[in-house]
Chain A
Amino acid sequence: MKVYIERTKEQKIIEAGDCKELLQKLKINPTTVLIARNGQLITEQTKLNSQDEIKLISVISGG
């Protein structure tokens, strides 16, 4: 699936069964991001499939 990381503006292609696995593969701490699929928030336990487009939004304020 396509993953866009907002903070670093990176686009990645990665496969994962659920969000938890996805964040583990990306080495991203789950307390630091919101996960959106098609503009809707989902949680760590949400199952994913390869057509999904995921956006990771940093919760850290920019100053």
Chain B
Amino acid sequence: MVCQKCAQDPVYEIPKANIQYCKTCFSEYFEHKVWKTIREYGLIEKNDHIGVAVSGGKDSMTLLYLLANFAKERRDIKITAIAIDEGIEGYRNRTLDGLKKFCGKEKINLRIFSYQEEFGKPLDIMVKKYPKACSVCGVLRRYLLNTKAKQLGITKLATGHNLDDEAQSVLMNQFRNNPAVSSRLGPITGVVQDAKFVKRIKPLYFLSEKETSTYAFLRGFMDTYIECPYASDSYRAQVRDMLYEFEAKFPGTKKNIIQSFLEVLPVLKSKYKAEMRYCQTCGEPSQNEQCKACQFIQILTEK
């Protein structure tokens, strides 16, 4: 088997479609899909200042690489990479090293905010009191990204979420009967134009985890595998594994989940728009006057 288009050795195969792509043709296919998503969903507009949420992992490195290239051709677009250092010894410090090197080489403005500086202690210490590391970690990360993005004058916050991440979220919200949460998914969020809430964009929305990994590998972003010491068999991980099994048996499952979700998303958005409340402190969507993150941060920083 050779590449469909140019007869070189293939690096990627579209399952069951019998289409094989070589390095060059796969990269073109991948980038084309990203640009198409940006264009069709209006992810980037004139004079945008894009904050790219980066962890040093393959998805966010791929995203940063692509958006930095985009900004080279679009003089009106500004890019700032934003990383959160949770304070996870042996993990985050290592992923951030690669990121720092990359940003230095590519002359990308990188801002790193740490739990230690912002909340007084690293995650490694917080987990002694709050053993659910991932809930604490996620809540605080989202909070920091949002508040720092606003301070930096960022107009849109780009994240490396891919097709797999989104399909998992859609299913999780179905399984838990959380349609209001689903109404805030999609390639671009920001139901209401609210000065307190920075719009989120997901340029890798239609690319699978395998496609993103393949691209990241070809660009040298697939570093040796390191796993966060707190990564556990979460609900999301179980949904992910189930979806992998389904995808192998019924190729196209994840794409179908997303396609049908996008069909109903406008309905969800209009239904939950009116009910949408925002946290008085940070501006994130929240059912109460103060969101979970802000309540938690208050407890955490109180002595």
Residues of A within 8 A of B214 (CB): 34, 41
CB of B74 within 8 Å of the partner chain = no
CB of B245 within 8 Å of the partner chain = yes
B73 CB, nearest partner CB in chain A, Å: 28
Interchain CA distance A43-B16 in the complex, whole Å: 12
Residues of chain A from 3 to 55 with CB closer than 8 A to chain B in the complex: 6-7, 29-32, 34, 36, 40-46
CB of B213 within 8 Å of the partner chain = yes
Q: Which of A44, A46, A57, A62 contacts B226 (CB 8 A)?
A: A62
Interchain CA distance A62-B208 in the complex, whole Å: 16
Cβ contact within 8 Å between B245 and A60: no
A6-B225, A58-B225 known; A63-B91 Cβ under 8 A: yes
Chain B CB count within 10 A is highest, among A7, A41, A43, A63, for A63
Residues of B within 8 A of A42 (CB): 9-11
Cβ contact within 8 Å between A43 and B13: yes
CB of B15 within 8 Å of the partner chain = yes
Closest to A19 in B: B13
Residues of B within 8 A of A61 (CB): 57-59, 209
Residues of B within 8 A of A62 (CB): 57, 91, 225-228, 231
Cβ contact within 8 Å between B248 and A63: no
Residues of A within 8 A of B115 (CB): none
Residues of chain B from 227 to 270 with CB closer than 8 A to chain A in the complex: 227-228, 230-231, 240, 244-245, 247-248
A29-B244, A31-B15 known; A59-B210 Cβ under 8 A: yes
Residues of B within 8 A of A36 (CB): 217
Residues of B within 8 A of A30 (CB): 15, 248
Interchain CA distance A32-B212 in the complex, whole Å: 12
A34-B214, A41-B214, A41-B217 known; A46-B1 Cβ under 8 A: yes
Interchain CA distance A36-B91 in the complex, whole Å: 25
Closest to A35 in B: B11
CB of B191 within 8 Å of the partner chain = no
For chains A and B in complex, what number of residue pairs have CB atoms within 8 angstroms? Answer: 75
Cβ contact within 8 Å between A43 and B218: no
Residues of A within 8 A of B1 (CB): 43, 45-46
Interchain CA distance A6-B58 in the complex, whole Å: 15
B266-280 CB mask vs A (1 if < 8 Å, else 0) is 000000000000000
Interchain CA distance A7-B227 in the complex, whole Å: 9
CB of B20 within 8 Å of the partner chain = yes
Q: Which of A44, A59, A63 contacts B213 (CB 8 A)?
A: A59
Residues of chain B from 73 to 109 with CB closer than 8 A to chain A in the complex: 91
A41-B12, A62-B225, A63-B231 known; A29-B245 Cβ under 8 A: yes
Interchain CA distance A36-B218 in the complex, whole Å: 11
Q: Which of A6, A31, A59 contacts B224 (CB 8 A)?
A: A6
Closest to B210 in A: A59
Cβ contact within 8 Å between B225 and A63: no
Cβ contact within 8 Å between B11 and A31: no
Give A residues with C-beta under 8 Å from B.
6-7, 29-32, 34, 36, 40-46, 57-63
23 contacts between A and B (CB under 8 A): A6-B225, A29-B244, A31-B209, A31-B248, A34-B210, A34-B217, A40-B9, A41-B23, A42-B9, A42-B10, A42-B11, A46-B1, A58-B225, A59-B210, A59-B213, A60-B240, A62-B57, A62-B227, A62-B231, A63-B91, A63-B228, A63-B230, A63-B231
